[in-house]
Structure 1
Amino acid sequence: MRSVYSKKISLNQQYVIGISIILLAFFTSYFFQDFMGYKVVALILLLAVSLTAVIFSIFPVLVCALLSALILNFFFIPPFYTFKINSAEDLLLFIMYLLIAMINGVLTIKIRQFEDKKRDEEEKEKTIALYNTLLNSLSHELRTPISTIIGSVDTIVINEEKLSKEIIQSLYDEIATAGHRLNRQVENLLNMSRLDAGMLKPTFDWVDVNELIFKVINENTEKPDDPQVFFEANENVDLVLIDGGFLEMILYNLIHNAIRHTPKNSNILVLSNYNDGRLIIDISDNGFGFPKDEINRVFDKFYKISGTATGGTGLGLSIVKGFTEALNGKIILENIQIGGAHFHIEIPAQRSTLEMEENE
């Protein structure tokens, strides 16, 4: 846990709060001094100094240590209400207390600073590891479509007169597919950055959920040998008050992820429903599912399941979770016993009552 000082509390505030802590310890001890000797009071004041050392910087702590020593001397070491000390034992106690309070404060601060530095180094290492993972993923995920675009354009420019219209059209289709792939990766990166910064705020409007699901399915089924996606419109979710862009991003990444990571002969089932003030979407497949020991990490940024095909940035499912939570919803992933994975999403939403009024 980071110290309060690291949260930009001003130095003056640290002095005021620190002195207040020492005074609180003093008043507490003063009212109960009949039940405890000044040696116990010394321990209480030392505890107060230790508390300030845990949360403040060094100079306020040293001031608190000195103040506590003066309070101990003036109010609790005989003769009372004077800084004079008659007994050599009491003088030794006072000197030892002052030294221990100062040393304890400084050592506590040094330990705290060391822990903060260590934590910063660990966070920095994690950040570097994340960026390395991202760069490694992008080096493949971006290079492939860029190479496709450059290669197709070069082929058309150099051999345009020799190529048939069908071949040229095929090359244009490859350019379009590669362009969409690039655009998708850039959108994922931008969306993740906006989610991390808290910049994305939902804008609610009436959305035809069935139409949106059909649109996302059509955008994802680009190849004839892609897994089949089955969806049947549900009249209960024709019009729902929700952020259509957020919902589209959730559906797109889930369906794209299912198509990308399930065998070609597998099936993907999409279901939608509305119940108890919530939009419910279920996406399941009959593929291989997720490894049990990794299923809790699939929503982490840049995390990719071990043994999966190369490519992808590992952002898709983390974006799904981020957008779902931005809509105050929740997402649950579980493996299906007979094989495959099941994503269950619940999002609070208002449903249009237009059709019900017309029926009445």
Structure 2
Amino acid sequence: MRSILHRNISLGKQYAIGMSIILIASLTSYFFQDFMGYKVVALILLLAVSLTAVIFSILPVLVCALLSALILNFFFIPPVLTFKINTAEDLLLFLMYLLIAMINAVLTIKIRQMEDKKRDEAEKEKTIALYNTLLNSLSHELRTPIATILGSVDTIVENEKKLSKENIQSLYHEISTAGNRLNRQVENLLNMSRLDAGMLKPNFDWVDVNELVFMVINENTERHELQNIVFEPNDNVALVLLDGGFLEMILYNLIHNAMRHNPKNTTILVLCDYRDNKLVIDISDNGSGFPKDQIELVFNKFYKMKGTATGGTGLGLSIVKGFTEALNGKITLENIKTGGAHFHIEIPAQISTLDIQENE
């Protein structure tokens, strides 16, 4: 934050603000000098110089240090209202103050520059590590569906007359599944980039949450038939004012994540309700849950738990959190004592007061 301040403020404004800080400290000290003496005033002015050194560039800080020394001499060191210094003790005080103020300014700025450099290096290393993780994930996650598509197409082209209609339909289904997998990964990458750039803004409209949940469940179960998804519609969420696209992405990634990382025949329970002016969504399962030491990490970008199946970019849950926060909501995760995981989402939203059945 400190480096951002001095980079975003023009040099002229730094001079003006820095000198204003010194003048305010001097004026305040002037009214109370009878109670604290000019030696205490010297400490106050030194503190003001240190404050400017924490925020601004070196030249404005050095000017502020010199200005504070001149003010200390003229207004506080006797005889006041003159630059004359009568005693050797006061002269030594003035020279020591000027020296300490200058050294303090330079050292503070140098320390800040070193901290900024280390922070930039750490951010670069983190960015490189994230990109390496992403590339490693994509190398598998994209290669597999691409190989499936190419292999299926080659098989159809080379053996079209030999294959039965059932075999051809099966190959087309594999191509469709692989294509959807590719599309999902590309969509996740685009969404994460837009979230990071702050480009995604919610577009609020009336959404039938029950219908949306059914649509997401059908989209997932068409590709995975090994888990049981349980959802009972709730009339309390028939019409809610929010961004349906954002909510669809949240639900899809949570349900897909539960289906992908849990054993066969796992039961996934989806509950929706409206309480305290919030849309409340609970998605739980009776699977294996999450390791306790990794629960705080699962929403991080590119994070994949140890021991999970290969594939995936580790973006699903981070996208869920990003879209939830974009709707001013919050998401929490906890393990269920009897086994499994429980995601709890609360999103502030307005609900329709219209009676849909009467309108129908």
Runs of 4+ in structure 1 over 6 Å off: none
Aligned to 1:328: 328
Match of 1:131 in 2: 131
2:160 maps to what in 1? 160
Contact 1:240 1:351 in 2 (8 A): yes
**1:73 is aligned to 2:78:** no
Q: Alpha-carbon deviations, 1:76-98, whole Å to 9, x = none?
A: 22333222333333322222221
Show the 5 A alignment for 1:255-266.
255-266=255-266
- Map of 2:114 onto structure 1: 114
Q: Is the 8 A contact 2:18 2:60 kept in 1?
A: yes
In structure 2, distance between residues paired with 1:4 and 1:203: 32
Change (3 A) 1:90 1:4: farther
Partner of 1:9: 9
Q: TM-score, normalised by structure 1?
A: 0.94
- Are 2:331 and 2:345, in contact at CA under 8 Å, matched by a contact in 1? yes
Provide Cα deviations, 1:182-215, integer angstroms capped at 9, x if missing partner: 0001111111111112211222223222222122
Q: 1:35 to 1:10 in 2, by over 3 A?
A: same
Query: RMSD of aligned C-alpha atoms?
Result: 2.0
**Pair 106,257 (structure 1): closer, same or farther in 2 beyond 3 Å:** same
Write the deviation string for residues 288-328 of structure 1: whole angstroms up to 9, x where unpaired: 11111111221111111222111111111111111122222
Q: Counterpart amino acid of 2:272?
A: S
- Cα distance change of structure 1 residues 159 and 354 upon mapping to structure 2, 3 Å threshold: same
Inter-partner Cα distance in structure 1 for 2:214 and 2:230: 10
Is the alpha carbon distance of 1:209 and 1:64 closer, same or farther for their aligned partners in structure 2, counting shifts above 3 Å?
same
Using the size of structure 2 for normalisation, the TM-score is 0.94
2:140 corresponding residue in structure 1? 140
- What residue in structure 2 maps to residue 191 of structure 1? 191
Task: Map residues 270-289 of structure 1 onto 2, 5 A cutoff.
Answer: 270-289=270-289
- Contact 1:145–1:181 under 8 Å retained in 2: yes
Alignment of 1:19-38 (within 5 A): 19-38=19-38
Look up the SS of the partner of 2:313 in the other structure.
coil
Amino acid of the structure 1 residue aligned with 2:131: Y
Which amino acid counterpart does residue 177 of structure 1 have in structure 2?
T
TM-aligned CA deviation for residue 356 of structure 1: 6.1
List runs of 5+ in structure 2 lacking aligned partners.
none
Could you tell me which residue of structure 1 aligns to residue 299 of structure 2? 299
Q: In the alignment, what sits opposite 1:100?
A: 100
Q: Aligned equivalents of 2:337 and 2:125: distance in 1? A: 38
Instruction: Name the structure 2 match of 1:170.
Output: 170
Instruction: For 2:193 and 2:185, locate their aligned partners in 1 and report how far apart those are by CA, in whole Å.
Output: 12
Corresponding residue number in structure 2 for 1:349: 349
Unaligned runs of 5+ in 1: none
Identity of aligned residues (%): 81
Structure 1 pair 285–70 and aligned structure 2 pair: CA distance change class (3 A): same
Contact 1:225/1:264 (<8 A) preserved: no
Give 1:3 deviation, angstroms: 4.1
